[in-house]
């Protein structure tokens, strides 16, 4: 399995966020309880394996094998192009895995043909737990869709709040190039 630096950094940022202590107010006594949660990150490469063959069944099986409760996905196509059969990969993977999904587009382009859905590419978060809220934040990045890109704020930094057995957990996912 390939692990590009962006996926590794995403995983580290996610782990640091989940492990960060939350300061309690001086006047507040809080009971701290463990909330077991398995989190993973996976770059799906638009549904293509290392052999460059588009196969969402294989992608779903790879994600399933992680046994994760929450999974951050990178390089997700939603009606993007022929490389992924114009599939809504976020929705399709969620359905195949029996999980909830939030898709955060990095790029949102006009349809390839009149009447077709918009072409979107980005990140997604899959969750076995209920999603309470979700937002697509901006992050400074270089566009791959324009010549001579310059760093600029763009969407593609997903934040999802999930209800894990009564505890709200915030999960973040992005793709760093």
pLDDT digits (tens, 9 = 90+) for 118-177: 999 999 999 999 999 999 999 999 998 889 999 999 999 999 999 999 999 999 999 987
Q: What is the domain partition of the chain in residue ranges?
A: 5-16+38-173
Beta carbons of 66 and 117 less than 8 angstroms apart: no
CATH superfamily of 5-16+38-173: Endonuclease/exonuclease/phosphatase (3.60.10.10)
pLDDT at 7 over 80: no
Which tokens is 7 given? 């996926």
Environment class of residue 73 by beta-carbon count within 10 Å: exposed (0-12), middle (13-18) or buried (19+)?
buried
């Amino acid at each position: 399995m390939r692990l590009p630096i962006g996926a590794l950094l995403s995983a580290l940022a996610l782990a640091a966020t989940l492990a960060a202590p939350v300061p309690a107010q001086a006047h507040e006594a809080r009971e701290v309880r463990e909330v077991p949660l398995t989190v993973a990150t996976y770059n799906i490469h638009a549904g293509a394996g290392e052999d460059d063959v588009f196969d969402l069944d294989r992608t779903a099986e790879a994600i399933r094998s992680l046994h994760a409760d929450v999974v951050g996905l990178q390089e997700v196509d939603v009606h993007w192009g022929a490389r992924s059969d114009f599939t809504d990969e976020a929705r399709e993977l969620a359905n195949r895995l029996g999980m909830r999904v939030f898709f955060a587009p990095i790029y949102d382009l006009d349809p390839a043909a009149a009447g077709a859905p918009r072409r979107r590419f980005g990140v997604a978060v899959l969750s076995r737990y209920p999603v309470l809220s979700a937002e697509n934040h901006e992050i400074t990045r270089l566009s791959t869709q324009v010549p001579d890109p310059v760093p600029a704020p763009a969407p593609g930094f997903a934040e999802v709040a999930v209800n894990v057995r009564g505890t709200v957990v915030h999960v973040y996912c992005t793709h760093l190039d």
